[in-house]
Structure 1
Amino acid sequence: MTAKIKHHLSPQLLMAYAAGALPEAFDLVVASHLSLCDACRAEAESYETLGGAVLENEDAVALDEDSLAATLRLIETGLPEPAEAAVPAAAPGEALPAPVRVYVGGGLDDVRWQNIGRGVKQALLPMTGEARARLLYIPAGMAVPDHGHSGAEVTLVLRGAFSDKTDRFGPGDVEIADEKLHHSPVAEEGEDCICLAVTDAPLRFSGLVPRLAQPFLQI
């Protein structure tokens, strides 16, 4: 899919991901894009390699006097086995990348959609921290209500496409929005659009109805 991807993750996001410094929601959208984009995956790996080299050149840090005893106690009592989430196998034509399927517990047929008006649907994904992640289903030709941003929003297109005043975004593309962007994305005609969107602050809707519904929809 890389050859078709036009809009990529920023170096800042990739470096923060490589350093393990992102909230869970942003970790998810970055990992999902990397599963689709060879170019960004290679760039992220270069930052990870650089980080490893920096650590190798750091001065040694003295351990606490009881570090050895504490480690031996853990060995004696037994370490808990790490929990590994099984990645559900993808069906042919499945739109959800592997990192998202872990959170959904399967594919598109397993998503628990919530209607939010005019055919648009969302599915909130369970997250730790303040940042939120949701799947968005936007019918072909339908516009998302006009809105601005109180913080950062990263939107990854999984199926279909949408356009706004900045550009067109197709499968694998990422739109990175901040407080400066005010827009009303429109799903392209011919195919419904499915996106993964993450935010670290509430959106700022222009219309009264979306503002009234916002607390209930957690947007």
Structure 2
Amino acid sequence: MTSIKHHIPDALLLEYASGRLAEPFALVVATHVSLCDECRARLSAHEMAGGAVMEAHEKAALSGSLRDNVMAQLDDAVEEAPVYERSSIFPAPIMEALKGRPPKWKPLGRGVRQSILKHGKAGSVRLLYIPPGMAVPDHSHGGLELTLVLQGAFSDEGGHFGVGDVEVADDAVEHTPVAAKGEACICIAATDAALKFNAFIPKLLQPIFRI
């Protein structure tokens, strides 16, 4: 998509390429890379550089039985893993997280809905449905938040974000995202810590909605 203006920072791409990025963020990065030619090329460069470093290191010999066992396990994993394709606005990485099924939306109030894809110690990642013109309550962050637009658009203190754009917000960012007019804004958002809402009602409902 040539209209993408907000990309994944190199530091996160490098963590993703090395397999060190936490699963919630890795899903957002994988989804963005599936949409963005520029970030896909940058990721490929990181992977090639990592491969070159591994090639330069001295190789350790493996016993025949260990090598055969590892290869057999890899073959089993490849054979058993289903392959998911894009469906509607949801790219393949999200369809894999959904196991090929439609999202299970749950209301958050005022027309806003969410579908939690993963929630655990490493953080959480969810789909968000925000009606046109609706604002997400003003909040800051206890850690990192990545938000990728899949449909529609939103604007906040950091700018305007359309389909394919990703907003990176850390604990220094306080914002009030507002969905653009037109079609509903649907995003995938990952966090590694609870959001910090300023208003009383969002704070009260936060444990229930696991935001």
Same fold (TM over 0.5): yes
Match of residue 204 from structure 1: 196
Match of residue 116 from structure 1: 108
Task: Output the CA distance in 1 between the equivalents of 2:7 and 2:58.
Answer: 36
Match of residue 76 from structure 2: 81
Task: Output the CA distance in 2 between the equivalents of 1:46 and 1:39.
Answer: 11
In the alignment, structure 2 segments of 5+ residues that lack a partner are none
2:89 to 72, 90, 95: 95
Cα 1:203–1:127 shift into 2, 3 Å? closer
Is 1:104 the counterpart of 2:98? The answer is: yes
Task: Output the CA distance in 2 between the equivalents of 1:166 and 1:4.
Answer: 17
2:24–2:124 CA contact under 8 A, matched in 1 = yes
List, as ranges, runs of 4+ consecutive aligned residues in structure 1 with deviation greater than 4 Å.
67-72
Cα 1:105–1:71 shift into 2, 3 Å? closer
SS in 1 for 2:19: coil
Task: Output the CA distance in 1 between the equivalents of 2:10 and 2:86.
Answer: 31
Is 1:142 the counterpart of 2:139? The answer is: no
Root mean square deviation, CA, Å: 1.9
1:155–1:174 CA contact under 8 A, matched in 2 = yes
1:167 to 151, 159, 163: 159
Match of residue 50 from structure 1: 49
In the alignment, structure 1 segments of 5+ residues that lack a partner are none
Q: For 1:59-106, what per-residue CA distance to the aligned partner results, in whole angstroms no more than 9, with x for missing partners?
A: 33466xxx545556x48xx6471131330453xxx1111110111233
How many Å apart are 1:126 and its aligned residue?
3.0
Task: Output the CA distance in 1 between the equivalents of 2:191 and 2:131.
Answer: 21
Task: Output the CA distance in 1 between the equivalents of 2:86 and 2:30.
Answer: 17
SS in 2 for 1:126: strand
* Identical pairs, percent: 47
Task: Output the CA distance in 1 between the equivalents of 2:110 and 2:27.
Answer: 28
Count of residues in Structure 1 that have an aligned counterpart in Structure 2 = 207
Quick check: 124-133 or 35-44, which moved more? 124-133
1:24–1:129 CA contact under 8 A, matched in 2 = no
1:157–1:174 CA contact under 8 A, matched in 2 = yes
Match of residue 194 from structure 1: 186
Which residue identity is paired with 1:168? Answer: H
How many Å apart are 1:36 and its aligned residue?
0.4
Is 1:23 the counterpart of 2:22? The answer is: yes
Cα 1:96–1:157 shift into 2, 3 Å? same
Larger Rg: 1
Cα 1:69–1:97 shift into 2, 3 Å? closer
